[in-house]
């Protein structure tokens, strides 16, 4: 197979139905259909609603990706799909679709890890990943620090949230402040008008010597602070609360990410996941990495959120590495460990 394999990537681990096409490290198409609008009134992603939307979107999204890329299905070298982790019923739609596509075209199938794909996608924008690098992945579903000697095979978990994901904390704080779901964008907008130092919210586990996170206590602290104001009959300074909450999240995430790099002698940090679109996290990560002599790599927001291009990017790296494909009987594994980059 060529050094620049043409790969279709399929992603359905949460609420985005994604189909991406890459040639080596060149992005040709990134088609995404989101069911987020259908979840908003429930204040969170409803798995069955997401799964139904994946079924309806799957063929149109794949067709759209091929149309955008201007390549024929018969020309692709391989199909990669998120095999886990994620919502079980949602993953199953993508895995079944990828198998059917692989079988229909007679092409090899690669069942890959969603978290590793979040790291691999940066290659589409910033070129080959330095080996090793550290990755900070933050979204509504994950908050992880990874040591990545080789994104196609060796990914070592360094730390993760022990309770809520960072994005979940955003959603819950947004509800307390009367903002819509998902909470990331409205909090980020409100925070621009506020003072991040106005309220000193707790930074859990900051000095505990681990690379784990905890955001449940922060969310409760924000709710308690807001309730105290309301109980006292005082107005809630929404912008200051948003900015101070966001500061606490970004502070812990960036400090621990820099600490992870220092602990492993790594000079490159990749940030990914939906929360990587957050303006304060990006700014603080840039400052702290510059101060610590760490090169920071953050893909553009559209590649940070879940999409098929990231799966295709990881698939292309795996194909280039000459690894054998997955058999047609692989399961969708909702709790696939990050150490398992390729399911066999």
Partner 1 sequence: MLLGLDTATPAVTVALHDGARVLAEATTVDKHRHAELLAPAISRVLAEAGADRADLTAIAVGVGPGPFTGLRVGLVTARVLGAALGIPVHGVCSLDVIAADVRLPRFLVATDARRQEVYWARYDETGRYSGPHVDRPADIDRRGSLPAVGEGARRYEGLFPPGEGPLYPAAATLCRLAAAELAREFSPDVARRDVLLPAVPLYLRRPDAREPGAPKRVTETAPPQAAQSRGGPPAPSPGAGR
Residues that bind Zn ion in the complex, under the rule CB under 5 A: 139, 306
Q: How many residues bind partner 1 (CB under 8 A)?
A: 46
Query: To the nearest whole angstrom, how small is the minimum distance from the Cβ of residue 251 to Zn ion?
Result: 22
CA distances from 21 to 29, 212, 306 (A): 5, 34, 14
Decide if 140 contacts 14 (C-beta within 8 A).
Answer: yes
Judged by CB under 8 A, the chain residues 154 through 183 that form the site for partner 1 are 172, 175-176
Q: Nearer Cβ to partner 1, position 59 or 290?
A: 59
Query: To the nearest whole angstrom, how small is the minimum distance from the Cβ of residue 327 to partner 1?
Result: 8
Query: From start to end of the chain, where are the E strands?
Result: 6-11, 16-23, 26-34, 78-84, 109-113, 133-138, 143-150, 154-160, 268-272, 295-297, 342-343
Separation CA 253–CA 142 (nearest Å): 12
Judged by CB under 8 A, the chain residues 71 through 100 that form the site for partner 1 are 73, 88-89, 92-93, 95-97, 99-100
The listed partner (partner 1, Zn ion, none) that binds 73, CB under 5 to 8 Å by sort, is: partner 1
Q: Nearer Cβ to partner 1, position 51 or 317?
A: 51
Q: Nearer Cβ to Zn ion, position 13 or 244?
A: 13
The listed partner (partner 1, Zn ion, none) that binds 306, CB under 5 to 8 Å by sort, is: Zn ion
Separation CA 335–CA 89 (nearest Å): 12
Binding string to partner 1 for residues 194 to 233, with x set by CB under 8 A, is what? --------------------------x--xx--xx-xx--
Query: To the nearest whole angstrom, how small is the minimum distance from the Cβ of residue 88 to partner 1?
Result: 7
Decide if 118 contacts 272 (C-beta within 8 A).
Answer: yes
The listed partner (Zn ion, partner 1, none) that binds 100, CB under 5 to 8 Å by sort, is: partner 1
Q: Nearer Cβ to partner 1, position 39 or 288?
A: 39
Within 70-215, where are the H helices? 88-105, 114-120, 123-126, 166-176, 184-191
Judged by CB under 8 A, the chain residues 228 through 267 that form the site for partner 1 are 228, 230-231
Query: To the nearest whole angstrom, how small is the minimum distance from the Cβ of residue 86 to Zn ion?
Result: 8
* First CA to last CA distance, the chain: 20
Read off the tokens for 230: 């309301």
CB-based burial of residue 231 (10 Å sphere; 0-12 exposed, 13-18 middle, 19+ buried)? Answer: exposed
Q: Nearer Cβ to partner 1, position 56 or 193?
A: 56
- Nearest one of 161, 98, 152, 149 to 266, comparing CA atoms: 149
Q: Nearer Cβ to partner 1, position 106 or 322?
A: 106
β partners of residue 57: none
State the DSSP string of 117-152.
HHHHTTHHHH-SPPSSEEEEEESSS-EEEEEEEETT
The listed partner (Zn ion, partner 1, none) that binds 307, CB under 5 to 8 Å by sort, is: none
The listed partner (partner 1, Zn ion, none) that binds 17, CB under 5 to 8 Å by sort, is: none
Q: Nearer Cβ to partner 1, position 97 or 145?
A: 97
CA distances from 239 to 18, 27, 68, 186 (A): 34, 38, 41, 10
Q: Which of 34, 101, 212, 214 binds partner 1 (CB under 8 A)?
A: 101
Binding string to partner 1 for residues 33 to 72, with x set by CB under 8 A, is what? --------xxx--x-xx-xx-xx--xx--xx---------
Separation CA 139–CA 171 (nearest Å): 11
Which chain residues interact with partner 1 by CB under 8 A? 41-43, 46, 48-49, 51-52, 54-55, 58-59, 62-63, 73, 88-89, 92-93, 95-97, 99-106, 172, 175-176, 220, 223-224, 227-228, 230-231, 327-332
């Amino acid at each position: 197979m060529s050094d620049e394999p043409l790969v279709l990537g399929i992603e359905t681990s949460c609420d985005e139905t994604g189909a991406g096409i890459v040639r080596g490290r060149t992005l040709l198409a990134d088609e995404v259909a989101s069911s987020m609008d259908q979840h908003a009134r429930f204040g969170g992603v409803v798995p069955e609603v997401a799964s139904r939307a994946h079924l309806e979107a799957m063929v149109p999204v794949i067709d759209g990706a091929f149309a955008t890329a201007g390549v024929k299905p018969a020309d692709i070298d391989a199909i990669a799909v998120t095999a886990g982790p994620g919502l079980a019923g949602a993953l199953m739609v993508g895995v079944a679709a990828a198998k059917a596509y692989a079988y229909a075209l007679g092409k090899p199938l690669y069942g890959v890890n969603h978290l590793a794909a979040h790291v691999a996608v940066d290659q589409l924008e910033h070129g080959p990943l330095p080996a090793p690098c550290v990755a900070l992945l933050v979204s509504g579903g994950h908050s992880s620090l990874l040591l990545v000697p080789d994104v196609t095979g060796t990914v070592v978990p360094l730390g993760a949230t022990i309770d809520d994901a960072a994005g979940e904390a955003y959603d819950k704080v947004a509800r307390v402040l009367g903002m819509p779901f998902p909470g990331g964008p409205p909090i980020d907008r409100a925070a621009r008008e506020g003072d991040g130092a106005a309220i000193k919210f707790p930074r859990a586990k900051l000095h505990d010597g681990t690379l784990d996170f905890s955001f449940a206590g922060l969310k409760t602290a924000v709710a308690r602070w807001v309730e105290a104001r309301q109980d006292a009959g005082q107005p809630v300074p929404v912008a200051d609360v948003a900015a101070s909450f966001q500061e606490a999240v970004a502070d812990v995430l960036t400090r621990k990410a820099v600490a992870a790099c220092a602990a492993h002698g790594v000079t490159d940090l990749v940030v990914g996941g939906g929360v990587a679109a957050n303006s304060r996290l990006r700014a603080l990560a840039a400052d702290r990495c510059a101060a610590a002599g760490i090169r920071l790599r953050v893909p553009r927001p559209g590649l940070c959120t879940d999409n098929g291009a990231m799966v295709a990017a990881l698939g292309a790296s795996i194909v280039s590495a000459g690894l054998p494909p997955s058999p047609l009987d692989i399961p969708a594994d909702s709790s696939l460990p990050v150490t398992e980059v390729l399911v066999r």
